[in-house]
Amino acid sequence: MCVLTVMLIFLYVVDVLDGETVGEIMQEVAFRLTPERGYFDRGERALWDVDVYFEAIRSFEFLSDESVVVVYEVDGDAETLRRCLDAVPEKVRDATITAEGDTLVAQVHFYPDETFAELLAVHRSFGASVEFPIQFVDHEPSILELVETGPQTVLRERLAKTRELADVHVEYVRRHEPQTARRFGGLTDRQREVLVAAVECGYYRTPREATHEDIAAELDCSASVVGQHLRRIEQQLVSATVPEQLADGRTSDANS
């Protein structure tokens, strides 16, 4: 078995087992939030007046001087957007506007209004992850839709803090199933039993600490049966993990 296969299988199963032993329920929550005043930052109102609208937030980053850099997807005219941003130098420190097809992408370095800054701060805190881009699903008033993943307790705390700053409507809450867990669940019961036993016995450690015979002794079966199961498991998991181009011995055009 090649080193790549061993590494993929080992990391894969350790990830699944770790997720089961932490004990904290991981959830995914989608919710929409609307600020009481109808906009997140007063600059939005000026843009609405000239038919320029934020469509999504691709990323945001706080800087040490309490300013923030936000990358927006924008619907509107680039020159109009530039004039609006240049008109408030006390608020907007810098902005870069580029076109990606019919979409404008604006990286804006500015000082946000207090409420917007507080909302961003809540959702950049550690313990949960935000799915980007964050979509504006409506304007006048502005409505943002966020999807976040994290421990149940952390998400509850975030939602509680968000409700202090904006109206919150929860779209759904569901148990989060990482890709590794879904693939592990795609194995048969017997395959999962064999794979877990192999990891616990040290079969995927370097140097290897167990043989098919050792695993068979744990499972009360023959070594040949263990070998058959492991080969099928490895083929299934590696095929689902390695890109098709690599599996076929091809490289992408970008690397040619």
Asked if residue 232 and residue 124 are part of one domain, the reply reads no
Q: Are residues 190 and 145 in the same domain?
A: no
Amino acid, res. 166: A
Spatial distance between the Cα atoms of 199 and 184, rounded to a whole number of angstroms = 13
> Letter for the amino acid at 250?
R
2 within a domain of the structure (yes/no): no
Mean pLDDT of 108-119: 94
Q: Look at residues 132, 155, 175 and tell me which one is the last residue of a structural domain.
A: 175
Q: 32 pLDDT exceeds 50?
A: yes
Backbone φ, ψ for residue 123 (5° rounding): -95, 10
247 or 116: which leads in pLDDT = 116
The answer to whether residue 85 is domain-embedded is yes
The total domain count for the chain is 2
Give the structural domain span for 243. 186-255
Distance CA 229, CA 107 (A): 52
Model confidence at 117, in pLDDT bands (50, 70, 90)?
very high
Identify the three-state secondary structure at position 3.
helix
* DSSP E strand stretches across the chain: 26-35, 53-62, 68-75, 92-100, 103-110, 129-130, 134-138, 143-151, 166-175
Look at residue 20 and tell me if it is in a domain.
no
80, 57, 70, 53: which is closest to 139 by C-alpha?
53
Question: How confident is the model at residue 124, as a pLDDT?
Answer: 79
- Statement to judge: residues 85 and 201 lie in one domain: no
End residue of a domain, out of 126, 144, 175: 175
Helices 223-241 + 212-219 axis angle, to 10? 110
pLDDT over 70 (residue 125): no
Span 182-222, pLDDT tens digits: 566 677 888 889 998 998 999 988 888 999 999 999 999 99
Query: What does pLDDT average to over the chain?
Result: 84
Determine the residue type at 25. I
Are 55 and 93 part of one and the same domain? Answer: yes
Note whether 17 and 195 are within 8 A (CB): no
In a domain, 21, yes or no: no
Q: What is each CA distance from 232 to 83, 182, 222, in whole angstroms?
A: 62, 17, 16
Q: Are residues 36 and 147 in the same domain?
A: yes
Query: Is 142 in the same domain as 225?
Result: no
Q: Does the reported pTM lie above 0.85?
A: no
Residues 226, 162 share a domain: no
Cβ neighbors of 76 (< 8 A, separation 6 or more) are 47, 50, 51, 52, 53, 104
Model confidence at 238, pLDDT cuts 50, 70, 90, reads confident
Is the domain of 155 the same as that of 244? no
Q: What is the 3-state secondary structure (H, E, C) of 126-157?
A: CCCEECCCEEEEECCCCEEEEEEEEEHHHHHH
Instruction: Judge if 113 and 169 occupy the same domain.
Output: yes
The answer to whether position 60 is within a domain reads: yes
